[in-house]
Structure 1
Amino acid sequence: MNTPELQRLKMAWLAAHERGDQQAILRLLQENPDEQDELTSFIGAYYATGGDEQIALEAEILPITERALKRSLSRVFEAQAEISTLAELRKSLRLSKVDVARGLRLSVDVWNKFETGAIELLSLQQRQLDRLAHFFQISVDQFGSLLDNSQPALSYNRRQTRDAALHDQQGPQKQSFQEAILRSSMSEEDKDFWS
């Protein structure tokens, strides 16, 4: 059974694995004896299906393989059709913004920019997109679509007239991923990781 707690543990394992933090992986297994069997099955399946192997991006995926992949992902993560933004995806996985930022080695302010649609999709390099999509166990195309759909809640000054407020509505300024990283409070090591 794929409970929210098990989903959270899977995401934590993936984040620790990507960082190479063996101590965190051991703690994860030791501190969760009830989910240990399911988590070790997930880890075994991760390695059995290629795990960290790089997939040739120019290789064509057969339509039947693509359908099987989508079906598998929906079964593993119980994906719901109503997920259309990065914030909804994060919430469906029962992750906080801090969990996602920590797992991706980003600051919360940079992750916030992703969720509000302030990061330009075209500013992301392929390897950066791969990392982001891999963290959530979705395809690069799905991540791009969720980023494109992520828009800020528009607000306006209550003192303005209604017509002026509708005219002046604006979301946050779009910026490149590199610009967001440079302006962030991230450590130099984490900035280098993403550059």
Structure 2
Amino acid sequence: MNTPELKQLKMAWIAAKESGDTQAQIRILQEYPAYQDELIDFIAGYQATGGTEAIDQTASLLPLTRRALNSALERVFEPQTAFATLAELRKSRNLNKVETARGLRLSVDVWNKFESGAIELVSLSQRQLEKLAQFFQVSIEQFSNALGGSQPALTMNRRQTREAASQAQQGPKKQSFAEAIARSTMSREDQQFWLD
């Protein structure tokens, strides 16, 4: 915890370091044993970053250092895979539709409506979007974009009349999330989980 007293001790230590007063540096550590661990960590960090030495911003990294940096970044930050639809997002997480529906406490028919683009984005509350995005470990914006990119697959029955065929090409009827839940086979408990 960086208390005001600890900040003052850090500034006093830096002043003593810059003036070359090693006795004052040691005295700060000895006179404040309660802050000794924090001060030691601060001093180690100060020395590790070069202290008062100027850092050459134009110096190039050695190839070995660059590979080590890239390797460390890859371990810390998971590479984000691009996905345009909810089906692609689900597949990027190695989930099938049943696992996804179960994990989200939805029925498979409701999840199918999400993937087919039948659920209207505007019908989802902020809290519902947060739950959906959190399940997939993506941002709300990424989930919303994937939902917007999910469009119905158009199929045509050759035996249909022209009028019926043109209606079929319009895709599934859009509905709100609440309507989809009301018409689903979900338990009352799961319905309340999403509607509360």
Report TM bin, short chain. Answer: 0.5 to 0.7
Are the structure 2 counterparts of residues 164 and 129 from structure 1 closer, same or farther at C-alpha, using a change threshold of 3 Å?
Answer: closer
Paired letter, 2:80? A
Instruction: Trace 1:171-182 onto structure 2 (pairs within 5 A).
Output: 171-182=171-182
State whether structure 2 residue 122 is matched by structure 1 residue 108.
no
| Cα 1:166–1:128 shift into 2, 3 Å | same
Deviations 1:9-55, CA, capped at 9 Å, x for gaps:
xxxxxxxxxxxxxxxxxxxxxxxxxxxxxxxxxxxxxxxxxxxxxxx
Match of 2:80 in 1: 79
CA positional deviation for 1:167: 7.1
* 1:105/1:158 CA distance change after superposition, 3 Å: same
- Please give the alpha-carbon distance, in whole angstroms, between the structure 1 residues aligned to 2:168 and 2:86: 26
Counterpart Cα distance in 2 of 1:186 and 1:92: 26
Task: Tell me which residue corresponds to 1:148.
Answer: 148
Q: Residues of 1 paired with 2:168 and 2:184: CA distance?
A: 27
Which aligned segments of 4 or more residues in structure 1 are displaced greater than 3 angstroms? 160-168
Q: State how far apart, in whole Å, the 2-side matches of 1:165 and 1:109 are.
A: 24
Kept in 1: contact 2:155–2:168 (CA 8 A): no
* 2:114 equivalent to 1:127: no
What's the secondary structure of 2:153's corresponding residue?
coil
Change (3 A) 1:79 1:160: same
- Deviation digits for residues 138-186 of structure 1 (CA, Å, limit 9, x no counterpart): 1111111100000110111212588984675121100000000000000
Equivalent position SS for 1:109: helix
The AA in structure 1 aligned to 2:181 is: I
Structure 2 unaligned residues grouped into runs of 5+: 1-72
Query: Which one has more relative contact order, counting CA pairs under 8 Å at least 6 apart?
Result: 1
Larger radius of gyration: 2
TM-score of the two chains, using structure 2 as the length reference:
0.57
Q: CA deviation at 1:137?
A: 0.6
The amino acid that maps onto 2:129 is L
2:138 maps to amino acid: I
Partner of 1:88: 88
Counting aligned pairs with the same residue, the percent is: 65
Q: CA RMSD in A?
A: 2.4
| CA contact 1:155–1:170 (8 Å) conserved in 2 | no
Distance 1:126 1:167, change over 3 A: closer
